[in-house]
Amino acid sequence: MAKKKRGRPPGSKNKKSIGKSVAAMDVSQLRAHIDSLQSVLAKKIHEQRAYFEDQLSQLGGYVAKRASAVAKAVTPRKRAKAKAKYQSKKNKSLKWSGRGVTPVWMREEMKGTKLKKEDFAIKR
């Protein structure tokens, strides 16, 4: 098994040589060098922006299609309100559909008696 080489990969440029060459330049050469770097940077930014805007426009159409498909699939359905199945013996306005936790009024009326849930059923 061969050992990995450490350091810079072959063909890479030495960063220190750039610093020395810049340090040796006079002000007019540095100004020209900065201007050329800024123009290269502006060109690269323009190319990247065009690339990403193209990708975004392609993705925008895809997202719009997916969003409409998801919106159609996820629409919640309204459920009709459940009809009351049980009614209090003491207060006829207290009713319960039979869904969820047993209401307090039913537990109170059942406590200490032989009444069961079926005894509160509304006769139809």
Enumerate the domain spans of the chain: 17-74, 86-120
CA distances from 115 to 10, 15, 19, 88, 89 (A): 90, 90, 94, 11, 10
pLDDT tens-digit series, residues 85-109: 999 999 999 999 999 999 999 999 9
Dump pLDDT digits (tens) for 25-70.
Answer: 899 999 999 999 999 999 999 999 999 988 888 887 777 777 666 6
- Tell me, what's the pLDDT at 17? 59
Residue 2 has which token pair? 């061969």
Is pTM beyond 0.85? Reply is no
pLDDT band at 73 (very low <50, low <70, confident <90, very high): low
